[in-house]
Structure 1
Amino acid sequence: MKRLIISILILSSVLFNGCVEKAVQSNKSENTKDCIVYNIGELPKELIMLTEYDVRQQDLLVNLFEGLVKTDEKGNIIPGISDSWTISKDETCYVFNIREDAKWSDGNDIVADDFVDFFSKILSKDINNKFADQLYYVFGAAEYRQGKREFNNVAIRAVDKKKLEIRLNYPCNYFLNILAEPIYSLRKINENLVDWKTAYKNILFTGSFIIDNVDKSNNITLVKNNNYWNEDAIRSNKILLTCINSSEASLADFQSGSIDIFTNPPISEVKSLNDSGEISQLPSYNTESLVFNLNKDGVVKDVNFRKALACYIDRNYITKEILSNTARSALTYIPTGIGNGLNGLFTNKIYFNGDVEKDKALEYMKKSKFNNSSESLKMIYIDTVENKKICENISKNLRDNLGIKIECIGCSIDEFNDAISKSDYDLAKVDFKGSYDYPLPFLERYSSMYSDNNYGYKNVQFDTILEKSKLERDKNKKIELLKMAENTLYDDVPVIPIYFSDTVICKKKNIKDVYFTKEGNIKLDKVYIDLEP
């Protein structure tokens, strides 16, 4: 009997000892975990998060904050802090009804004016926001951003305490898709979000969890937000987020039991993890491409040369042999599975081939100005094992079959960005994540008016088609215009899509109901540990 009592006391001590200790003691029984450990990777510098798009870092936003609407795992728009909304007959006026039980984490009511304040802050010219133009559909938003009018002349207003009205310049059938993005989750835009690792106790949260602690190793303890409107549906009382920024180290901790969930394991380990039933994949919005430097004189300005290269990329080999089927060959510019704003999916013609098109490539080379000189081109890439293999595979194929000499140079992120800004390259392997579920953001990045288009591609016709698509009131005609824009991009080939990467998640078998949004964010509100043997 004495031994039994001691065993019970030891087990109780383990159960209530806290997440942080669990993270460093990997020899604990699976049945004694008191919380789930998710390795989120590199942490964001701040929680305003309007200066760059990182789907993993945005996992913090989707679990700590909530917007008017959100998306489920199938990409459907579902209620968030707004439990319902109405859209005017001309589709330019949206009225959102704020839940009666919606509260900040301190227990105070969330009201329509909170959203007015939020939008006024993120649209202000005084804040760095690379996504601001997404809201230019709203009447007066562009002029306010440019400092040409006050926010009280922007068509975002509180009708009453619980009704928010937003009026648009013209119909935008994907406006809810934009509002469902994590960056539009309601939060107080202030210094607490900037200094979040030390000021987390002063942050007001609106989502499923709040930050309870950030330790010296930057491990983050999340606990259930007891004032969240759907608090009863949250399955776990506590989640620990770790920040191991290495796929190899994450896998080691996963195998030792220190972490329960992480994403994007080493490619070399995908097959064994898949065989063990500890892995799942989800198509993402992420496109990996080769972009040409059209700011620089040389053969890359020759469209026939660019088309020849596009024909000699072995996409199927790259996705199957190098990436172990964690990606899909990109045969179009718009990833498969992107919505068309008409309750369906966007589809257009297939432009590229998964396998090498040798004869077609040789035809284009004959038309090009390439003279098989000793000059070599410079291809830069972010220095990872997979990027190195991919770029070297492309380089070898082009050298052996078309006589094109390419020097592949791996760079740190800072070196890569510096080379792009200085036009010190001929080709670059780039990745791009569409910011919302609609074809426009995948095309708009190559518009000459797009702030991040540093590659020198300028086509007035392409720009005009995209602008027309925004202004067009007929939803079907909008899609036809976007197809025309994609066709134009193919005609010019300023960029060659290579593959659409998947999000790969590893989780222990006893971790249940982890789910992704269609954008690829991991939601933790339903996750729990199955303690059954």
Structure 2
Amino acid sequence: MKMSKLKKALALVVAATISATLLVGCGDDSKSGSNEQVLTYNLGADSKTLDPALNTAVDGGIVIVNAFEGLCRTDEKDKAIEGGAKSWTISDDGLTYTFNLREDAKWSNGDAVTAHDYEYAWKRVLNPETGAEYAYQMYYIEGAEAYNTGEGSVDAVGVKAIDDYTLEVKLHSPTSYFLELTAFPCYFPVNKKVVEADSEWATKVDTYVSNGPFKMSEWNMKDSLVFVKNDNYYNKEEVKLDKLVMKMVLDETSAYASFQSGDFDMIESVPSSQIEAGLADGTFVKYPNLGTYFLVVNVNGDNASDDVKKVLSDSKVRKALNLAIDRESIVKNITKGGQIPAHSYVPEGIPSNDGEDFASKEYFNPSGDVKEAQALLAEAGYENGQGFPTITLLYNQEGDHGSVMQAIADMWKKNLGINVSLSQQEWKVFQTTRTQKKYQIARHGWSGDYVDPMTFLEMWTSSSALNDAGFSNAEYDELISEAISEMDATKREELLHKAEDILMDEMPAIPLYYYTKVKGIKPYVKDVQVSQLGFVYFDKAYIDGK
């Protein structure tokens, strides 16, 4: 899932399969004498969309996982547990899942949540007219890819409501993490009646009908989202917060000031200049985060001049740019959040079948190799940067991305003799620009959707809507396809390693560091669950001792 900000100070997963659950709290109305449990949390972003089918960013995902619920939820180790489904059975061949839904599950408007809502929602994601970038995440389902790519019928998609409370799902090959996928936002149900009545349903309070622990009560544009306990939620007795206020303050210094003054009880990201002191005195908490911060290169040079298109399409140039970056310096002097300098695209933190980490291979020296970078650039025809056109490095303006991008531009100038123009855009605009490939090189970040290398590698297939680089390699596509169908764990891992070998040789993505997540948390905030996949869950949170 796309990471919106560097300032999230995200970087490596030190504990691969654990999500951190920490006591995090809430600002209440104690000043007015109220006993109401209110938590004010700065999301730090104005989300592009809150539609479970269309969202691809972590910020929007945090909102959605607190308003909606899938067939499964995930526990502190990101393993599937019962959610909208109270039980399920899996056929002996691992291809057919039968989910038994809770009969007491309701939408926030009082409608019953049925298996038909799930069938409708999943097929809506796959409908090519919906334009869901995450449609590929459902390609494990029989007939899903064919329907999404216009080569098959919706009737052939292997999801069917047997009755109101029984959902049958057929996969084309066994998928060990399929239950975890059903806890991911694009697999969440939506209320068919509401969605079909208003195409803008996800932009209005009155029509933002959800089935999770919280329901929306206010939407103050560019300021805040306010959620209250969903009294129609089947597990409402376990929800302790009466109100969850999600603020949209983009500037981290301003958000930090509000945190210090007590106006915010928790902030999603913190100023890098404050991280060392905040971690030392306990003001901040560092969580594992399974993700990689990287640069993405528009390898086809769309919308660029011929000379820029020529350099971007050359893998020798891309590898030279990669080796001219000193990642150790970036994490030490700029990000300062305990991030790990990258040496691969798949981040550390995913267990391998042999007991090692999947990311055990070092594709390049994290500190760079200037001599080799210069040699590669000379081989490409640009010795000492002569004749190399000025390239534009694009980033979103929120957070400290600008500091990182400036450092990279300086390294490329010093080490390769090339000129870089920096350009910034607001987060919503930036996402669209990058998706439409109207850039040359841009910052990017990806947080895993589940704990498996596939969540990082599948996005670079030729057909993936999340492939912002425009990268296309037939052998890579075949390796990913084979890995999806391979039942032998060792052989599957070998296929995925070979795929990453190609990715790191072609270098459409230039990894910079592995995320960690540093958040500001008041000591009176309890039982907020922070997942290594980037989500923050407030369904068990409460305030004690403010």
DSSP-derived class of the 2:400 partner: helix
Superposition TM-score, scaled by structure 2 size: 0.83
CA RMSD of aligned residues (A): 3.2
Deviation at 1:267, TM superposition (A): 1.3
Which has the higher mean CA deviation after the structures are superposed, 132-141 or 356-365? Answer: 356-365
Partner residue in 1 for 2:481: 467
Partner residue in 2 for 1:356: 368
In the alignment, is the contact (CA less than 8 A) between 1:342 and 1:475 conserved in 2? no
How is 1:135-150 mapped onto 2 (pairs within 5 angstroms)?
Answer: 135-146=138-149
Partner residue in 1 for 2:59: 56
Deviation at 1:436, TM superposition (A): 3.6
Which has the higher mean CA deviation after the structures are superposed, 60-69 or 416-425? Answer: 416-425
Bigger Cα Rg: 1
Letter of the 1:63 partner, please give it. N
Residues 258, 47 of structure 1: alpha-carbon distance in 2 compared, 3 angstrom cutoff: same
Residue-by-residue CA offset, 1:311-342 (whole Å, 9 max, x unaligned): 23111111121001252211111012246699
Which has the higher mean CA deviation after the structures are superposed, 27-36 or 171-180? Answer: 27-36
In the alignment, is the contact (CA less than 8 A) between 1:303 and 1:492 conserved in 2? yes
Q: Does 1:194 align with 2:200?
A: yes
How is 1:229-268 mapped onto 2 (pairs within 5 angstroms)?
Answer: 229-268=234-273
Aligned counterparts of 1:239 and 1:439: Cα–Cα separation in 2:
34
In the alignment, is the contact (CA less than 8 A) between 1:35 and 1:236 conserved in 2? yes
Structure 1: gaps of 5 or more residues: 1-18
How is 1:451-466 mapped onto 2 (pairs within 5 angstroms)?
Answer: 451-466=465-480
Q: Identical aligned pairs, as a percentage?
A: 30
Q: 2:420 aligns with which of 400, 404, 407?
A: 407
DSSP-derived class of the 1:298 partner: helix
How is 1:365-444 mapped onto 2 (pairs within 5 angstroms)?
Answer: 365=377, 367-372=379-384, 373=386, 375-384=388-397, 386-402=400-416, 404-413=417-426, 414=429, 418=433, 421=436, 425=440, 427-444=441-458
Deviation at 1:162, TM superposition (A): 2.7
Deviation at 1:149, TM superposition (A): 5.6
Letter of the 1:482 partner, please give it. L
Deviation at 1:67, TM superposition (A): 0.3
Deviation at 1:454, TM superposition (A): 4.5
Aligned counterparts of 2:170 and 2:117: Cα–Cα separation in 1:
17
Structure 2: gaps of 5 or more residues: 1-25, 302-308
Residues 376, 521 of structure 1: alpha-carbon distance in 2 compared, 3 angstrom cutoff: same
Superposition TM-score, scaled by structure 1 size: 0.85
In the alignment, is the contact (CA less than 8 A) between 2:47 and 2:59 conserved in 1? no
Residues 120, 458 of structure 1: alpha-carbon distance in 2 compared, 3 angstrom cutoff: closer
In the alignment, is the contact (CA less than 8 A) between 1:46 and 1:195 conserved in 2? no
How is 1:35-50 mapped onto 2 (pairs within 5 angstroms)?
Answer: 35-44=38-47, 46-50=49-53
Deviation at 1:260, TM superposition (A): 0.7
How is 1:58-207 mapped onto 2 (pairs within 5 angstroms)?
Answer: 58-146=61-149, 151-189=154-192, 190=195, 194-196=200-202, 198-200=204-206, 202-207=207-212
Which has the higher mean CA deviation after the structures are superposed, 370-379 or 89-98? Answer: 370-379
Aligned counterparts of 1:397 and 1:250: Cα–Cα separation in 2:
31
The size of the alignment, in residue pairs, is: 507
Residues 434, 21 of structure 1: alpha-carbon distance in 2 compared, 3 angstrom cutoff: closer
Residue-by-residue CA offset, 1:165-188 (whole Å, 9 max, x unaligned): 101112222222322212322221
Deviation at 1:382, TM superposition (A): 1.2
How is 1:202-221 mapped onto 2 (pairs within 5 angstroms)?
Answer: 202-214=207-219, 219-221=224-226
Aligned counterparts of 1:169 and 1:381: Cα–Cα separation in 2:
39
In the alignment, is the contact (CA less than 8 A) between 2:161 and 2:168 conserved in 1? yes
Letter of the 1:236 partner, please give it. L
Residues 457, 146 of structure 1: alpha-carbon distance in 2 compared, 3 angstrom cutoff: closer
Residues 223, 63 of structure 1: alpha-carbon distance in 2 compared, 3 angstrom cutoff: same
Residue-by-residue CA offset, 1:390-438 (whole Å, 9 max, x unaligned): 2332333333344x2122312214478548857663x433333444432
In the alignment, is the contact (CA less than 8 A) between 2:134 and 2:465 conserved in 1? no
Residues 82, 345 of structure 1: alpha-carbon distance in 2 compared, 3 angstrom cutoff: farther
Letter of the 2:165 partner, please give it. K
